[in-house]
Amino acid sequence: MTKPTPTEIGQGYDDFADLLDQLWGDNLHHGYWDDASDGASLDEATNRLTGELAGMLAIEPGDRLLDIGCGVGEPVIRLGRTHEITGVGVSISKRQVERAGDRAAAAGLADRLSFQYADAMALPFPDESFDIVWALESLHHMPDRWHVIRQAARVLRPGGRLAIGDFLLRSDHGSGADAAARVDLVREGVLKIVDLDEYLSRIREAGLVPETAEDVSDHTRPSWSKSAEIFAAVRDRAEQYIGARQFERTLSNFRQLSDAPMVGYVLLTARKPA
């Protein structure tokens, strides 16, 4: 299996929008739990992850934010409401863009937030036009995440900040890359991951200065098992959308990743030199 193209990914989100709503609600990213005793729901935990990443930034009222891979807009809507920013979200799913715009309007934020169909590999924005570029669990979908980071650096104003949530290779767990290569999605090239040193090196190559990097793998790992539980509970509905074979494959992937500590998760920020 090869990594899906941006067009295929966008079409998938369009086709399965209703199913995704039923499964994951407003956020299409991992959650954050304090520890094993934390009883937060997936919905609560996904909002918490947004808050964790936002807390690594000094967000000022009036900042202009670009959300790369905006989903249905929940993170940027929350940031718009709590920090009084202006923002633009982009997605390769036309259905997501439409729903995000509707949700921003319903929240009374349409005057400050907008959403548009765009490919992050060729961002349709002028140089130095944003104070913050936000990419929460979207870069792993990209054909070349380093190219997207260079695009982010281009559109950031001097002194602007990049905020990322992404999957990470934890080389101190199960012999690192060799162990990760036994995970189906990694072996097939669908989920491409690197260790933190390489990630930070690539960010520097893009002309940005890394500021904060936090391995939150232990806090986000329950996302896989909870996703598997939710998915299994709606088997009949899910199979109507994706068929029995793909359902079993997806469920197996969730369970496999839940048991793969070398596939981790990082929150990081970087700054464009002033």
**pLDDT interval class at 264 (50, 70, 90):** very high
pLDDT at 15 over 70: no
C-alpha 56: how far from chain center: 16
Cα–Cα distance, 264 to 12 (Å, whole number): 25
pTM value > 0.75: yes
Structure tokens at 165: 């949530």
Cα–Cα distance, 24 to 71 (Å, whole number): 11
pLDDT at 197 over 80: yes
Cα–Cα distance, 63 to 42 (Å, whole number): 29
Q: Which domains does the chain have, with CATH numbers?
A: 6-271 (3.40.50.150)
Q: Model confidence over 159-183: pLDDT tens digits? A: 999 999 999 999 776 556 777 888 8
User: Cα(first)–Cα(last) distance of the chain, in Å?
Assistant: 43
